[in-house]
């Protein structure tokens, strides 16, 4: 042991150890590559896949500008609606108000307790069940009148159906996120004079986002695929409807067109995964005591110039 106050004159040489070998990883990789090659060879030579039909339709104008576009629109609109409604339901569920609490509970009970396919069929039947919408005094004069059956609104009904179902799941995800924030955070905000609502908005929800984002990304991806159920409304102009119903039925080629649909679902999912990565990174700021590259650079520079270190850097 040398005296702690005097640093050694020369720093010891950096360690250059022989890395640990992992032979079984190589064996596993070789086995998997062989299996994959066999599968790809089989798929390429099997006539049932009809790759020339896949090639013909994968960039088909109707698949892209109608099918893919409608699927994306259904996903985005219903997800945005679902998140907004989910936040509202979660906050209601956690609020001190007993009326809000029970309303939120009943909503969850109904919309989580019935299959989304059944709900979509139901929304499709809304114009039949409620043929007319009137706004006015009950049993009195009417100010506004709308004939639902005269409108053609399957796209709108599909969005409403998907969103209301999804909101129930989003509400639970958001509630879990809010509950994950320590109680002391709400207390500290309250002690600073914030109202419950402001403490939720400024302190609790931003911290809950770190827990909310990953499962929400999951839900967006799940929603992208659930949109293929809108055929129940019935709405047939989404990616699955266009490829596997309209074109496949016309050409008698179900397999390659299913592959076209799967291909585009996979492409969009991949893009969503990249977006999720960046969102997660943004909301995890402050969650770790690990310093950012920029902060490390500043500290290293300070060390280099012989500035007084220590002082409880914490890291």
Binding site for another protein (CB under 8 A): 182, 184-185, 187-188, 190-196, 198, 202-203, 206-207, 285-289, 291, 295, 312, 314-315
Q: Which is nearer to another protein, 250 or 294 (CB)?
A: 294
Q: Which is nearer to another protein, 145 or 285 (CB)?
A: 285
Q: Which is nearer to another protein, 272 or 299 (CB)?
A: 299
Q: Which is nearer to another protein, 141 or 310 (CB)?
A: 310
**What are the phi and psi torsion angles at 145 (to 5°)?**
-140, 130
Residue in the structure block whose two tokens are 């709308």: 146
Other C-beta atoms closer than 10 Å to the C-beta of 56 total: 14
**Least CB distance from residue 94 to another protein, whole Å?**
15
**Helix residue ranges per DSSP H, the chain:** 23-45, 51-57, 61-62, 69-94, 98-113, 116-129, 154-179, 183-191, 196-199, 205-226, 239-240, 248-251, 254-283, 293-304
DSSP state of 180: T
**Least CB distance from residue 205 to another protein, whole Å?**
10
User: Which residues are CB-neighbours of 290 under 8 A, at least 6 positions away?
Assistant: 315
User: Which residues are CB-neighbours of 173 under 8 A, at least 6 positions away?
Assistant: 86, 212, 215, 216, 219
**Least CB distance from residue 311 to another protein, whole Å?**
9
**Least CB distance from residue 312 to another protein, whole Å?**
4
Other C-beta atoms closer than 10 Å to the C-beta of 92 total: 19
**Least CB distance from residue 315 to another protein, whole Å?**
6
**Least CB distance from residue 172 to another protein, whole Å?**
23
Q: Which is nearer to another protein, 70 or 203 (CB)?
A: 203
**Least CB distance from residue 178 to another protein, whole Å?**
14
**Least CB distance from residue 180 to another protein, whole Å?**
12
DSSP state of 200: I
Q: Which is nearer to another protein, 106 or 192 (CB)?
A: 192
Q: Which is nearer to another protein, 140 or 184 (CB)?
A: 184
CA 286, chain centre distance (Å): 22
Q: How far is CA 150 from CA 99, 101, 120, in A?
A: 37, 38, 20
**What are the phi and psi torsion angles at 90 (to 5°)?**
-65, -45
HSE-up of residue 11 (Cα within 13 Å, Cβ side): 3
Q: Which is nearer to another protein, 140 or 304 (CB)?
A: 304
Q: Among candidates 308, 90, 77, 300, which has minimal Cα distance to 211?
A: 90
User: Which residues are CB-neighbours of 235 under 8 A, at least 6 positions away?
Assistant: 154, 155, 157, 158, 241
């Amino acid at each position: 042991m040398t005296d702690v106050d005097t640093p050694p004159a020369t720093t010891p040489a950096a360690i250059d150890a022989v890395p640990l070998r992992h032979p079984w990883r190589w064996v596993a990789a070789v086995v998997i590559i062989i299996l994959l090659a066999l599968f790809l060879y089989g798929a390429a030579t099997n006539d049932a896949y009809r790759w020339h039909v896949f090639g013909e339709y994968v960039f088909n104008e109707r698949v892209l500008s109608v099918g893919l576009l409608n699927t994306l629109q259904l996903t985005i609109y219903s997800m945005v609606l679902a998140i907004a409604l989910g936040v509202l339901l979660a906050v209601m569920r956690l609020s001190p108000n007993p009326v809000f609490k029970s309303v939120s509970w009943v909503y969850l009970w109904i919309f989580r307790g019935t299959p989304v396919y059944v709900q979509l069929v139901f929304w499709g039947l809304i114009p039949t069940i409620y043929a007319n919408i009137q706004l006015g005094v009950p049993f009195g004069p009417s100010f506004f009148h709308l004939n639902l059956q005269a409108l053609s609104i399957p796209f709108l009904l599909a969005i409403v159906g998907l969103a209301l179902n999804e909101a129930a799941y989003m509400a639970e995800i958001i509630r879990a996120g809010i509950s994950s924030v320590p109680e002391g955070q709400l207390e500290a905000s309250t002690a600073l004079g914030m109202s419950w609502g402001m403490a939720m908005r400024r302190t609790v929800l931003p911290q809950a986002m770190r827990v909310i984002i990953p499962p929400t990304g999951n839900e967006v991806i799940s929603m992208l695929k659930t949109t293929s159920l809108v055929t129940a409304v019935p709405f047939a102009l989404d990616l699955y409807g266009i490829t596997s119903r309209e074109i496949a039925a016309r050409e008698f080629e179900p397999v390659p067109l299913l592959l076209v649909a799967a291909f585009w679902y996979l492409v969009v999912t991949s893009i969503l995964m990249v977006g999720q990565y960046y969102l997660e990174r943004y909301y995890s700021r402050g969650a770790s005591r690990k310093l950012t590259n920029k902060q490390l650079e500043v500290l290293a520079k300070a060390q280099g110039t012989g500035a007084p270190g220590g002082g409880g850097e914490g890291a």
